[in-house]
Structure 1
Amino acid sequence: MNCDTIYNTRISDDFNNGKKLLYDLKNNVTVFGSARTQENNAYAKKAQELGYVLANEGINIITGGGDGIMQAANKGAFESKKAQSVGLSIELPFENSVNPYTTKSLTFNYFFSRKYMLVKYSKACIIFPGGFGTLDELFEVLTLIQTHKMRDGFKLYLVGCDFWKGLIEFIKTTLVSEKMIDAGDLDIIKLSDDIEAIKNEIIKL
């Protein structure tokens, strides 16, 4: 089997296995965030609280399946026992493939197929502080919403007002002022640290 065949097979496996895992799951929310955050970190605690309160409402939590924020959100959903706690992971040298708080999991071969499946079946995305990977996920989702490639009504929340304020300021003072985006594109983003308010909005979607 040549390299192209192997590559194409692995891509097909990612999409087919992802669809098989998620297709019948309804009422899903995706949580993104750093894999490096410790369990006692304030953002990790918020992610666990969020996972718990959403799962209590029957909302399934989907994460990248790794450590840090992802594990915290999965743990909250897992402890609720009222919804699925899903981890869509990828093999990396510096983090666990799948954290122990998932009820459904799948390990992907490629980042691009994993990112697609992480949001394909969700109605909202909640993004906690993170590094390059989290920023990549944030801007991909922003682009998909801006270009109307996401389902109607899809919502995006940023949790961590202090963490994200510099980025929001850059978007306002540079991207908007230089006419790289429209001022109305800022409305895509909801910045909030109020977990209860986010929950109440999401259960109405």
Structure 2
Amino acid sequence: MTTKKTLKLTPGKMIYHNADFIDSDVGRPIRILSEFMGPNQIFAQEGIKNTIVFFGSARTLPMSEIKKRLKNCKNKKEAMRLKRLSLVAEYYDAAHELGAKLGRWANKQHKGFALMTGGGPGIMEAGNRGANDVGTSSIGLNIKLPFEQHPNPYIDDELNLQFRYFFIRKYWFMKMARALVVFPGGFGTLDEMFELLTLIQTKKYGDRMPVVIYGGKYWNKIINWDYLADTGMIDKEDLKLFHICDTVEDAYNIITTALEKTME
């Protein structure tokens, strides 16, 4: 049996300045409203109007880092983990390269573009790193988790946001998104990708935007896209909501061509 925590308010002090109140159950609506409204002010101040969003695993490491760690690794369990990660290491480097290429393109548009990720390590770090390399605004929407997630060092200080609630964080992923790239990932990446595809499919998201699913040899093993259509679970037309790409150049061309058409 748990006992309810008693709130202690400081006499004469504004209730909204009381940390115990804000962190309590009754303070939840205020926390939600803060996460919903606060980023809007920050993005407006920084001139951010459009984003290109990268999704992908927090666990992915570049091959150079995996080789470095394996060289000095004496723990068999850790060595096995690193060898498994080597199967997808190429995607870190691809995300880094694509982030830089899209960043250079965005810099020429003068349309308030930024590259946005979930703010953590892995693919998120790679995307932010690419944008940071070329001076493009680099946003990280971090989430409070019991493991894995910590802000990567390539996010602009003023655009390093911390969230408590997944659903508000997802709202901000979509709010200014003009393109999406989904790199290999696990449950979190699948969740984000399918929610966004559902919003586009059901026309809840107003603008049709380019969606690139990067890494056919990964995604085609874990999702049988054609079978979804063959069994009537989705329409054949729904397979046109996204593009599966295996090269940085193809992903870049699909995204920039689509975005440039919308700006004509």
Is TM (by shorter chain) over 0.5? Answer: yes
- State how far apart, in whole Å, the 2-side matches of 1:115 and 1:186 are: 23
Query: Partner amino acid for 2:250?
Result: A
Residue identity (%) = 42
Query: Partner amino acid for 1:151?
Result: G
Paired residues, what number? 202
Higher alpha-carbon Rg: 2
Q: Is 2:133 the counterpart of 1:69?
A: no
Aligned positions of 1:30-179 closer than 5 A: 30-40=53-63, 41-58=89-106, 59-81=113-135, 83-103=136-156, 104-168=159-223, 170-173=224-227, 175-179=228-232
Gaps of 5+ in 2: 1-20, 64-88, 107-112, 260-264
- State how far apart, in whole Å, the 1-side matches of 2:232 and 2:189 are: 25
* C-alpha contact (below 8 Å) 2:58/2:149 kept by paired residues: no
Question: How far off its partner does 1:44 sit?
Answer: 0.3
- State how far apart, in whole Å, the 1-side matches of 2:26 and 2:62 are: 41
Query: Partner amino acid for 2:117?
Result: T
TM-score of the superposed pair, with normalisation by structure 1: 0.92
Question: How far off its partner does 1:14 sit?
Answer: 1.0
Gaps of 5+ in 1: none
Counterpart residue number, 1:6: 27
Counterpart residue number, 1:194: 247
- State how far apart, in whole Å, the 2-side matches of 1:56 and 1:10 are: 36
* C-alpha contact (below 8 Å) 1:97/1:107 kept by paired residues: no
Moved over 6 A (4+): none
Counterpart residue number, 1:16: 37
* C-alpha contact (below 8 Å) 1:119/1:125 kept by paired residues: no
Question: How far off its partner does 1:167 sit?
Answer: 4.1
Query: Alignment partner of 1:200: what SS?
Result: helix
- State how far apart, in whole Å, the 2-side matches of 1:15 and 1:195 are: 33
* C-alpha contact (below 8 Å) 1:69/1:128 kept by paired residues: yes
Query: Alignment partner of 2:54: what SS?
Result: strand
- The answer to which of 100-109 and 190-199 deviates more is 190-199
Question: How far off its partner does 1:118 sit?
Answer: 1.2
